[in-house]
Structure 1
């Protein structure tokens, strides 16, 4: 999902948890409300200015709108709420549990690259193939690209002077080990890089091109999961520590569901399709700002969110909700999830620095009709946020090829068609 982000100031996030991986359960962690924590709702969120156009849309928040609001958690922490209360509120019939998460973490960085670069920033890097190895000097940038020798396709490693240093045939792995040493990995060879000090970048040629992964393993008394979380760029490290704790637990819960048995690792992307991993770029900023993100990771070690049956939940979260979270059925349709219900978090959101608390969009009826596949529209409606009627979705009546038609759309579908920041909207 597209959203604005900046590690130091406005890093935002969304997670989509999918499958539960094998973990070892421990005793549940009791959830008790913080004495100074006010109730999440009850505040009035003012509407944005009236937009131009016959169709007026008023909304709030940024993201899919379900589960935990990151800005809501920030506001709650500012008001004195602890992370357990925050999580219990947003996933209100779930609880905390401790589970051992000991597998490596594999980040998929590229799947069909033609070239890829690696810059050795703070130390040397050891490259290895099936039969030999070479060392890349500190400060240099080496290139991996598709290459063939005598009709045998594979990938070749070139040093900074353009000299070929290694060649491996298709399906063979070319790896770059750099544990503890910062490297900048340019998966597609362009200007976009992942800065990380953990642990091994791997390259292999397949039919679609070069596949690039980064594998994080346990070392130095830290698990791979701890190392991964310390480089996560989902929220600003300067936020209150209770908000950071809530984020680390939600992120760890998401990660735990990405276990891949065949790889014996947690496998996911480093971008917004999963969780935003920025590696050393986050670690270095955190260190300069007192290390609260690292402290939050360690303070909540092994904690994940589970449902009443003890199963790891689908711990969705997004940037902000604008005062109300959404029911899963309204957003995605099909079936409900008991812990993804509407939550009035207007008081918490009002205490946050949420820049997308309220927004509005206007358009002509003709433009509106076209976005939903109508020739013209006569009526359109969606129930108020938090209302049980909202589960009926977005209803639009109009004409298609001369016939009167009524169609129903999920919140996510309507959001996509209208190009809105979130499905958290109503019609004015």
Structure 2
């Protein structure tokens, strides 16, 4: 029965996923580099197309090479190894999710390439020249091997849910609790549920303040809704948080005569998160925020905190992405 089951799953995956990749179904252990443990399967021939925002060209990159250079751009190399491994798996899963969603046609924003090099749209990626210029020789000597190890020790591993690659959203710092996907983005995903993220104390962006003038505050809100009005003399009494999401960010806030979402306020004033308070003192408006980013999926500083507490990358990922399975890519290319 077990053999029949896995044969069925294999046929299903080959049918549903992109032709270049096959997912081996199972709850698996990460390939190890020590003697006496099973060898890795080579996935070095898997190629993806990446739109380079700097050169405006579409690059053909080996998947694992791409992930290595994404990892450098997306997470500090000083982080714990297990946190780096978790980020490598998340970045790889994101690339495969994009490939399976858009295929050869690519994303509408960059036809012919499923992913790009901008963190504002996909995942940030740096060329080797950019990495060396940004970090310098000493960094390369101290950290490059560590980055490569994090990628190589998780080669080909991605996260799936119901045998499909997940959309593994991640962010810098949640502020103590992540958000449900539907509270921030359009759709509810069963694996993107609000969970605690208690080990973020060392994040330099856990708390932040931003001060602006009352004129900038009013003009910013009028740029979003031209009918906005507020009594300057009693502005503090006209700011009321109406609803919060499960993760703690603001869902609805009443300011003056209008109701806004927390995301709208964050975007308008370029705040670090939608988990904020507003205080008014004289002509100064102060935003106090907790966390940095959209708050959905894996908190990178939370992941590092979990690693410091002894969690491995699988435990980290299973915490932030509920109900996922670890699967492995193999090449469907002819040798």
Counterpart in the other structure of 2:150: 296
TM-score, normalised to structure 1, is 0.46
1:164-217 deviation line (CA, Å, top 9, x unaligned) = xxxxxxxxxxxxxxxxxxxxxx72xxxxxxxxxxxxxxxxxxxxxxx523222x
Q: Which has the higher strand share?
A: 1
Following superposition, the deviation at residue 100 of structure 1 comes to: 6.7
**1:371 corresponds to:** 220
- What is aligned with 1:394? 252
Deviation string for 1:38-86 (max 9, x for gaps)? Answer: xxxxxxxxxxxxxxxxxxxxxxxxxxxxxxxxxxxxxxxxxxxxxxxxx
- The residue that corresponds to 2:104 in the other structure is 262
Q: CA RMSD in A?
A: 3.4
1:369 Cα shift? 4.4
* CA drift at 1:310: 2.0
* C-alpha contact 1:322 1:349 (8 A) present in aligned 2: yes
User: Distance between the aligned counterparts of 1:299 and 1:292, measured in 2?
Assistant: 10
Shift of 1:21: 4.6
Q: CA 1:212 to 1:321, structure 2 compared with 1: closer, same or farther past 3 Å?
A: same
1:357 paired residue among 191, 201, 206: 206
- Write the distance in 1 (CA, Å) between the matches of 2:115 and 2:271: 27
Query: Does 2:137 correspond to 1:274?
Result: no
**Between structures 1 and 2, the one with greater helix share:** 2
Q: Distance in 1 between matches of 2:18 and 2:253?
A: 38
Q: TM-score, normalised by structure 2?
A: 0.57
Larger radius of gyration: 1
Shift of 1:397: 5.0
- Number of residues of Structure 1 aligned to a counterpart in Structure 2: 225
The answer to whether 1:330 aligns with 2:330 is no
- Compared with structure 1, are the counterparts of its residues 376 and 29 closer, same or farther at alpha carbon in structure 2 (3 Å cutoff)? same
1:314-352: CA deviation from partner (whole Å, max 9, x where unpaired):
1011122232222223323x4322222222213x101x3
Please show how residues 300-315 of structure 1 align to structure 2 within 5 Å.
300-307=154-161, 309-315=162-168
Please show how residues 65-144 of structure 1 align to structure 2 within 5 Å.
103-110=46-53
Could you tell me how far 1:276 is from its partner in structure 2?
Answer: 1.6
1:3-22 map, 5 Å: 21=18
Equivalent residue in structure 2 for 1:29, among 27, 30, 53: 27
Q: Tell me which residue corresponds to 2:77.
A: 237
